[in-house]
Amino acid sequence: MANQSEKNIGALLGGAIAVFMIGIIGTCVLPFFDSSINTPTATAKLKNYLPNSAEARGRVVYIKEGCYWCHSQSVRPVKADSKLGPVSVPGDYYYDKIPLIMTQRTGPDLTWVGSRYSPEWQYEHLNNPQKFYNGSIMPKYNYLSEQDKKDLVAYLMSLKPAPAAKAGAAGR
Ligand code: HEC
41 C-alpha to center of ligand 1: Å? 26
46 C-alpha to center of ligand 1: Å? 23
CB of 96 shorter than 6 A to ligand 1: no
Rounded distance between C-alpha atoms, residue 66 and residue 63, angstroms: 5
**How does pLDDT run across 142-152, given as a tens digit for each residue?**
999 999 999 99
Rounded distance between C-alpha atoms, residue 108 and residue 100, angstroms: 14
pLDDT over 90 (residue 166): no
Instruction: Name the residue type at position 67.
Output: C
| Atom of ligand 1 minimally distant from the CA of 122 | 29
Rounded distance between C-alpha atoms, residue 27 and residue 168, angstroms: 29
**How does pLDDT run across 88-142, given as a tens digit for each residue?**
999 999 999 889 999 999 999 999 999 999 999 999 999 999 999 999 999 999 9
Reported as a pLDDT band with limits 50, 70 and 90, residue 6 is confident
Q: Whose CA is nearest to atom 39 of ligand 1?
A: 67
22 C-alpha to center of ligand 1: Å? 41
Reported as a pLDDT band with limits 50, 70 and 90, residue 2 is low
Residues 37-63, mean pLDDT to the nearest whole number: 95
Instruction: Name the residue type at position 129.
Output: P
Rounded distance between C-alpha atoms, residue 153 and residue 140, angstroms: 14
Rounded distance between C-alpha atoms, residue 132 and residue 126, angstroms: 10
Q: For the chain, what is the mean pLDDT?
A: 92
CB of 121 shorter than 6 A to ligand 1: no
pLDDT in the model for residue 163 = 85
Rounded distance between C-alpha atoms, residue 127 and residue 99, angstroms: 26
**How does pLDDT run across 7-23, given as a tens digit for each residue?**
899 999 999 999 999 99
Pocket test for ligand 1, best of 64, 71, 83, 111 (most atoms within 8 A of CB): 71
